[in-house]
Homo-oligomer: A and B are copies of this chain.
């Protein structure tokens, strides 16, 4: 329990303490912070003017909260330091804090460091300077659903799918923070399949969201070195929920033979608060089962069988033209769990580095789209609507969707009421093309 009020079942309970980068109208310099309930602790002010890390002498690098506009330097310090700092902040914020004079009983320090996310108009920024962004395809149900659509049930999964975490390099420069509005992309699309295929230049008519979770790399690795699967967790900093927006019609034409390119590089939205790996530990569970009896190659065999996390993931859709962004009034279109993965993030890192690819602090690694089995648990409209052919009803609004329309607001929410740990929300609104 914290001495600060936290609404029941809030994902930012004292069990979480996620890190982000904030600014406010009264101090527009981006700076590190942690969230607790609807409150925000400004770590720049806490470390600097309140001398808040005075009771943590083992953490001599608190300037990482003072001089930096991203979390990269903090993340680069490694998992033992992340653990030390998070546990210390839990103590500071705990109702029976051993340091009551630091903040709980210190109105002056509270005034300097504590913000209310709504009342103080806290603006969130990208939490990390992202060097490389890689996206995997580890959501087996999703890969299967998409495979059935395009290749039929017998050949739904490619031969390599269960033997390695399939992934590709994404575009780092188009990763944006939740709340950034996304113009509808234009590009090359094939309108008919007769004779020589001739593309037209059009606005995407198959704009989709993709529900994913993603991890930030903390500690880097060297060119030529491989990260072992059982030590990979030490290389991770924390996680977010992610929307890897996709233009399905542009993708279908461009992706042979080198993979998706402009159909995804127009925007990828992430939630602003990074949930540290330690906060996710209580949510560990088993991944999906492999369908083949051929064992994984040793470099992918993980000792901990509970290698993924069970966090409820919910997708809401609203239309900005009609209703303001809010859960009330929006329509829940999907409910699933982040455990619907065939491979863990440790396996993804082990595979990513197996040929010697270096990791760098701030690299972002996505899970791939996460879907359950039935229509109500799918992580993309492509799957829910069978490539647009079976529209999804938006409650009793009279509205339905094949793909996203202009003004649509997609809200991905990742929360775990029981544990008080979750990602919060990742929000994006579709603007008309060219806006």
Contact = CB atoms under 8 A, between A and B. Distances in A.
A160 interface: yes
A33 B135 CA distance: 37
Nearest to A435: B224
Contacts of A354: 185-188, 262
Interface stretch (A162-170, A233-241, A274-282, A308-316): A162-170
Interface in A34-93: none
Nearest to A169: B169
A9 interface: no
A183 B356 CA distance: 8
Interface residues of A, number: 67
Contacts of A357: 171, 173-174, 262, 265-266
The A interface is mostly helix, strand or loop, or mixed, namely loop
A292 B196 contact: yes
Interface string A163-206: 11011111111101000101101111000000011111100100
Interface in A127-145: 131-132, 134, 137
State the copy count for this chain: 2
A169 B355 contact: no
A25 interface: no
A358 interface: yes
A80 to B, nearest CB: 24
A352 interface: yes
A301 to B, nearest CB: 11
A130 to B, nearest CB: 9
Given A169-B259, A247-B355, 5 more contacts: A168-B168, A173-B358, A173-B363, A185-B355, A262-B354
24 contacts: A132-B171, A159-B197, A160-B197, A160-B256, A163-B199, A164-B188, A166-B261, A169-B170, A169-B171, A172-B172, A173-B360, A185-B355, A185-B356, A188-B354, A198-B294, A201-B298, A204-B355, A223-B266, A223-B267, A262-B351, A262-B357, A263-B355, A265-B355, A267-B356
